A and B are shown apart, each in its own frame.
Chain A
């Protein structure tokens, strides 16, 4: 066995029937005809050529593919595009652009919150979703008493809530600083 796979004739893939899906991506409507196997990440990257969302592990472990769907952060690699008929997707390309950066993008630059940059789009999309979750008072594993409806975003809370985004360059201290600045509503 090893790395070689013997392909039996019954295993040969027949072309799957495509499914049509309507998505709104970064406020623009799209109609796609997709093999149902297409993940949201592959639909964004390969079909819509929005390559800001990155493929790291492709198994929901690294967070590089994080996008916002109907305002919530999710792993785009672990969901099928056809399951998102009518949904609103925001990727890093929809958050800001050179010259008009999103607050978090500007804070990441200001705080040198990356080295290679591969995880950064996922980190920023995740942070956008995370700040909304905290604003809504959601508890986390770092919350002392889950029954208390308010949340103070301490460094421990930011680290815990961002644990689904791995940075292999280990820019974590600066990522936390960038997010803290935006959470506090400006520079300190």
Chain B
């Protein structure tokens, strides 16, 4: 690990000032950043510890929304009674991710900003446009079994690894940001992460010096919420494919449909195509298959990950069956 200086921020404004230094970075749970610093993939020269900022609470907002502080741990959010009853898809997604130890340390803000687990991003002897812009992509012609099938580019086929963010995309969450100028703004989570394009090293719309202060969940839509994750091990592995679905039916017809995929793209992937194919249609397997086909209409395999296209379709059908059954 390269050497760095350390400073603990006592309030958000002090943190904003501290991070304006060249080479400075925020650290919160540190479970991804320290992993990458040990490998010298991340090389900050100054760490600003924001883990003790008063941003840990989960609070009800007067209009029925829920505000989750960016420093709340993944465990705290998953175990929160209001999240479990009103946003169960979020609780399910959180406990599907990482391990008990990591969830006790990892923060909500850090979860959103975690980097890809592409093996070529991690291998400093390989080419990676995300790690070293312009160096090429070893994954495109490499072992790309874990890689993206939607929204990828010739510069990068990495996936975003978060489970939490997939549920938040299905829930239409907003990210609350504090800018270097001390102004706050909110960004819809589906606009927060970027597709790789020609600049895969630019992963979000965060501006320099900006800090995530919280996530706001709107009142939950009607219907049953289900998160389903498919992976190589029964537990403690990143998703090959995951689906967050929210479905309501009336007299056998779909009246609410929210669909988001994980493990398939550079960002948590909301499928408006699948939602359009579900809404107003009978809650039957024929409808689910049509929705799956619509969701994957533009999917592209790169060889080792071709199986993900069928897997994503089947996982969606299974998740929708489960969600519609009891709604």
Contacts and interface: CB of A to CB of B under 8 A. Distances in A.
A63 B51 CA distance: 22
Given A129-B100, A139-B79, A75 B105 contact: yes
A24 interface: no
B235 A149 contact: no
Contact of A16 (B5, B29, B101): B5
A179 to B, nearest CB: 13
Contact of B125 (A1, A78, A165): A1
B145 interface: no
Nearest to A146: B91
A35 B1 CA distance: 11
A107 interface: no
A73 interface: yes
Interface residues of A, number: 49
A163 B234 CA distance: 9
B95 A37 contact: no
Interface in B128-150: none
B303 interface: no
A66 B104 CA distance: 11
B27 A163 contact: no
**Secondary structure call for the A interface:** loop
A78 B34 contact: yes
Interface residues of B, number: 39
B78 A73 contact: no
A37 B6 CA distance: 9
Interface string A16-37: 1101000000000000000111
A145 B38 CA distance: 38
Which of B8, B31, B85 counts the most chain A CB atoms within 10 A? B31
Which of A14, A36, A58, A133 counts the most chain B CB atoms within 10 A? A36
A37 to B, nearest CB: 5
Interface string B87-119: 010011001101111101100000000000000
A181 B1 CA distance: 42
Interface of B: 1-6, 8, 27, 29-31, 34-35, 38, 47, 49, 51, 75, 78-79, 81, 84-85, 88, 91-92, 95-96, 98-102, 104-105, 125, 234-236
24 contacts: A13-B3, A17-B5, A35-B3, A39-B34, A59-B35, A59-B38, A60-B31, A73-B104, A74-B105, A78-B35, A79-B29, A79-B31, A80-B6, A126-B101, A129-B100, A130-B100, A133-B100, A138-B78, A139-B79, A141-B95, A146-B78, A146-B95, A147-B85, A163-B236
